[in-house]
Amino acid sequence: MTDDRGFDNGPLDPAEPTASEPRDTELESPTLAADTELTAEFGELDGALVERLAELDDEVAEARATSLRSGLSDYDLDDEDLEILEASAEGVDGIYYLPALPVLAIVGRPNVGKSALVNRIIGRREAVVEDTPGVTRDRVSYKAEWLGRRFTVVDTGGWEPDAKGINASVAAQAEVAVDLADAVLFVVDINIGATATDEHVVRMLRASKRPVILVANKADDAIRDPQAAELWSLGLGEPWPVSAVHGRGVADLLDHVMTILPEISAVAKEEVGGPRRVALLGRPNVGKSSLLNKAAGEERVVVNELAGTTRDPIDEQIELGGKIWRFVDTAGIRRRVHLAQGADFYASLRTSAALEKAEVGVVLLDVSEPVSEQDVRIIDLVLESGRALVLAYNKWDLLDDDRRRYLEREIEQDLAHVSWAPRVNISARTGRHLEKLVPALEVALDSWDTRIPTGKFNALLAELTAEHPHPVRGGKQPRILFGTQASTRPPTFVLFTTGFLDPQYRRFITRRLREVYGFEGTPIVVNMRVREKRSK
């Protein structure tokens, strides 16, 4: 069925017209059992609670929240606590956004010491280091600090174990990292010098227009430094001889990096205004390219029955529902990114990169096939990224009555943890119900941007804890001292507590947030900050 906004959130069978009930959040297990368990323990939402919160005077609510906030002065708080509390004191507009940290990507051939250099920069052994080439498969990000400035370091890998086609593979992996970076460290083994593979990557780096710093690694002593002069031939400027293992020359290198990196990332920062960014996600051959072509009204993307035709995300400005949107058609995600080979592996990396740049993910599911583990994993990828979510059930024109009944059961069993996501039933091939995608996107993005005033949130917490106090654990009962919404996109709430809250109790709070305030189409994050009273 469809609701008054024009998209589907009810049963698949038209003979059952009841509306779907809001269920739990991303914190719950993706089964109906978790939702049933919560209902049994905490009961259904009391309609009077919604009325009381709606009638509560904003000034009274804020005054109560201010009193609770002042009570935290008796507890040990760190600098981050104080920042959160300071933001909550600013009322409805109190959400703050930290500036996007500049991004430094580290690329190079296998076994030149990229991960060792990452460990040296971040000051701890986190990146896996082995003599075997290709240990690092994915792009992995780490936070680092130098000269009082914080930045993000991205370690890259994903190299083929054999040398066949390695030039193309190296360039593909480097391109993903470079596309999301403000500057690049290109690492070369000083003992081997520049290779044909290095020269292949250099051509891509030049075309990227990103600042590139050439690092001659494994210069363990000054005797090797003159060998770095041979690397001038790469055309990337002065080589910086360093030893990632021993730390030699790394401090000078970082001093130079600080002169290149911007204070605020030019690529990771959120765009203000302009078209909302939509990532099309799904298994290969699920109809993503067909949907993009139909929305655009012309053939923008190659469509072929052969799965995996799309390799690179394709950004398109599209007018839909009287608004301009930026759609990204992504390469289908294979079963396991670590097992994918060749171009498929890099297509998966590009899909993740596209999601990082998006605000909302539209996950297409093929209704003619059973909901698969791949489908669930792609949905979970959107949840982990904190993006808004819309589920688009494609190839609806191929659905018969028998398949319809099985599909409803699959949705209840496998997708219960995202029952809050707007659902549209479409046919990308024919364009059927494509217009329903717009209200679904708008609802999800509005929820993603929603801010609950601190006073109202604490009033809700007071009602919930009075209705269902947290169970006693180890002779103690954890109390919620104060709560605030620290940020939106996605809505992120922080609870200051006297003890650890059970996961089920946090799911209860998150469920009530959905039932009272909607949050349709967005994951909700509930964080705890357990604090003890300051000793006298």
Q: Nearest CA to 250 among 157, 118, 141?
A: 118
Q: If the chain, 536 residues long, is cut into consecutive pieces of 10 residues, what is the mean pLDDT of each piece?
A: 52 35 33 54 69 84 87 87 75 52 86 87 63 42 85 68 46 67 92 84 84 93 88 91 92 95 76 73 82 68 41 62 78 42 49 75 92 88 90 90 88 92 91 89 94 91 90 88 90 93 92 92 94 80
Q: Determine the Cα–Cα distance for residues 283 and 271; give it in Å rounded to an integer.
A: 28
* Common-topology check for domains 103-260 and 276-447: yes
Please tell me the predicted confidence (pLDDT) of residue 305: 43
The answer to whether 523 and 67 are in contact (CB under 8 A) is no
Domain boundaries, the chain: 45-95+451-530, 103-260, 276-447
Q: Nearest CA to 527 among 499, 506, 513, 505?
A: 506
Please tell me the predicted confidence (pLDDT) of residue 438: 92
Please tell me the predicted confidence (pLDDT) of residue 171: 52
Q: Nearest CA to 169 among 109, 234, 215?
A: 109
Please tell me the predicted confidence (pLDDT) of residue 112: 86
Please tell me the predicted confidence (pLDDT) of residue 21: 31
Unique residue bearing structure tokens 């990532």: 279
In order of 25, 285, 310, the CA distances from 302 in angstroms are 37, 12, 7
One-letter amino acid of 199: E
Please tell me the predicted confidence (pLDDT) of residue 402: 86
Residues in a beta bridge with 319: 324
pTM greater than 0.75 (yes/no): no
Please tell me the predicted confidence (pLDDT) of residue 322: 83
How would CATH label the architecture of 103-260? 3-Layer(aba) Sandwich (3.40)
Q: Determine the Cα–Cα distance for residues 300 and 317; give it in Å rounded to an integer.
A: 11
Q: Determine the Cα–Cα distance for residues 308 and 334; give it in Å rounded to an integer.
A: 9
- φ, ψ at 146 (rounded to 5°): -150, 130
Please tell me the predicted confidence (pLDDT) of residue 388: 96
Mention the CATH class of domain 276-447: alpha beta
| CATH number assigned to the domain covering 45-95+451-530 | 3.30.300.20
Please tell me the predicted confidence (pLDDT) of residue 82: 86
Q: Determine the Cα–Cα distance for residues 170 and 175; give it in Å rounded to an integer.
A: 9
Q: Determine the Cα–Cα distance for residues 356 and 391; give it in Å rounded to an integer.
A: 18
323-329 β-sheet, strand order: 314-320, 323-329, 276-281, 360-366, 388-394, 423-425
Please tell me the predicted confidence (pLDDT) of residue 253: 95
Helix, strand or coil, per DSSP, at residue 490:
coil
